[in-house]
A and B are shown apart, each in its own frame.
Chain A
Amino acid sequence: MSTQIDPRGQRFAASVTSVVLVAALATAPGALAVTLLSLQAALFATAVALGVQRTPVAAVYRSVVRPRLGPPSHTEDATPPRFAQGVGLVFALVGLVGFLTGVDALGYVATGFALVAALLNATIGLCLGCEVYLRIPTPLIAATTRSTT
C-alpha cells in the first residue's frame, strides 16, 4: 500500500542535511550561507513534493552507499520521514527569510532548529511526526484534519 524505504537512507540524508546546515551557519550571514540554505530548502522541497526516495541525496545513497552496506534488515513507511522533511522545509524557509531580510537572529534560530532536528534524526533516528503532533492544541489539529480531508 504505502511506499517502503530503507531507513538507513534517511539517516544518510539527515547526515548530509546536518553537514549542509553546519556549513550554512558557519558562513552566515552572507551570500554563501544563503546559497547553502537555499540548496537545502530545495532538497527538502524535493522530498516533500516527489517523496524522500526521489531526491538527489537518495540517488547517491542508492548508487554509492547501499551497495557497500548490503540489503536493509527491514524497511519503513515513507510517510513519517516525508512529514519530517516538510518540517525541515519550513525551518529552512524561515531561516532564509531571516538572512535575506537582515533579521539575522531569526535566520540563526530557525536554521539551528533545522540542524537540531537533522542531527537527532541522524543519531538516534528521532521521529519528528511522533513528537510534535500530540503537543499541538486540539483546535489546531481539528483545523488541519478538516483541511486535509
Chain B
Amino acid sequence: MNNENFTPKEKDGAMKKRNLILVLALAAVALLLLFVGLSMRKPAARPPEAIGTARPVDAGEEIVAPSPAAVEAAKTPPSGTSEETAAPEPVGGVATPSPAAIEGENTDPTPRPTLYPATSYLRISTGRGVYAPIPLVEDGSFKLTQGEGIENVIHVGKDSFYMESSTCDNQDCVKQGEVTLDNIEERILFNMVICLPNQVTLELLTPEEAQTALEDMYRAQEAYEDEAALAAEDAYEAQ
C-alpha cells in the first residue's frame, strides 16, 4: 500500500467530494465544448437546387486557378497533379494548381471569382496552402502530391468524397470514410476528412460556403500580390 496518498478515514468524505467535483468539472467542460462545436457547425441547409443557376456561368468559363492562400507557403508549388482516372473536367482544371503566389503570374484578379455550378464542393487544404473549391459533379480520383513520397489519393463523386489512399502511417484519413451531403451531421469530424501526418484537410462545402471560401482566397491573393509587387520592385532597385 502506498503511504501518503491514502488519506485517513475522516478525510474520506472530503476526498470523495473532491474527486467527484473534478470529474464533474471535466465533464462540464467537455459538454460545453460539445455545444460550442455543435453551434459552430451551422446546419448545412441543403439548397433546393444547384446554386450555380443563381450565378450564371458561361459554359466555357474557366475555373479560377487555385491559389495558395496561405501566403508565405509559396516556396514550392503545391503540385497536386491530376491523373489516374480522367478526373472530371472541373477537377482537372483545379488539380493543376498554379503556384500563383510565387511569381504573381495569376491573371488580373479584378473579375469576381465564380464557381463552376454544383450542389457541393470539395476544399483541399495542405500545409502549403488552400486550393480553390472543387465542384463535386462526377466520379473520379486524383492524386495530391506534396513531394518526397507524400501522396494522398482523393476520390470524388457527386456530392461526396473520400480518401482513397494515403502514404501516411496511421491511415486514419482512409478510415474516416466518405463524406456526403447527407451524412455531415452524423460524422464526428462533420464535413472533414483529415490526414494529420500529411497535413491534408478535405472539406465538403455547400455552394454558399464555397463562394465565401473562394472570395476569401481572392482577398488573400490580392493582398499577397500587392506585397509581392512591392518586394519585386525592391529587388529590382537592389540590382
A binds B: no
Question: Chain B: residues with CB nearer than 8 A to chain A?
Answer: none
Question: Chain A: residues with CB nearer than 8 A to chain B?
Answer: none
